[in-house]
Each structure stands twice: as C-alpha cells, then as structure tokens.
Amino acid sequence: MSGPTHSLTPQEMAQLAELADIIIPRYQTMPSASDIDLVSHLARTFASRPDLLETVRETLLHCRGHRGEAALLHLASEHPPHLSALLQTVAGTYFMQPDVKRALGYPGQKRLHG
C-alpha cells in the first residue's frame, strides 16, 4: 500500500461537493459551494490545516450508505466531531474565496493608519 496522499480522490471530492452544496446553497447574492467550485480550492485549505485532511477522509467514510441531507444527519447523530470538521473545512474554504468576499462586500484586511 502506498503512503498517504495530500489531497482527496476524485470520488471523495464528488462526495464532498454534494455535501458542500447542502451546507452552503445559493442564497440571494451569495454563491453556493458549487458556484465557486469549492472542491477545487481545498488544496489551500489543507495546506493551512493539514490536520483536516485525514479527518475529512474519515468523515466521508462515515457517510457510506447515506447521501445528501441523510449523510449530514447521520454525522450529526453518530459522529459530531467529524461533522464539525466537515463544516469547518467547507466554511473555511468558502470564505477564503474572492467571489464570496466580494458578495459579502468584504474588501479584506486593511492596514490601520494613525
């Protein structure tokens, strides 16, 4: 067996994309997770928080046999720490994206003068 990889497999990414769109759907002017192709930005998240990668993998394994909202409900009742890691990963990745910051009207951090 080979060593650990530092990214998700295509199957894991598809599974995560489905869950991410339930967690962050499109709302008014705010894009959904799929609108910003959230899963394509995960490498940056995992570079910042490498501890989340294996936890997200485990979370997706815990979802086996469950899809969509049922998977999230299963995590909430049976694996709350894994649901928390999933929410942290999805939200953190989402709010790092320039399109999301623009939609929020958040220009980013500014240097204080004075």
- State the pLDDT confidence band at 3, using cuts at 50, 70 and 90: very low
Instruction: Give the global pTM.
Output: 0.86
Mean pLDDT of 66-73: 97
Query: b vs e for 36-71, b when ≥16 Cβ sit within 10 Å of the residue's Cβ?
Result: bebbeebeebbeebeebbebbbebbebbeeeeeeeb
The burial class, CB within 10 Å (0-12 / 13-18 / 19+), for 85 is: buried
With a pLDDT cut of 90, the percent of the chain lying above it is 81
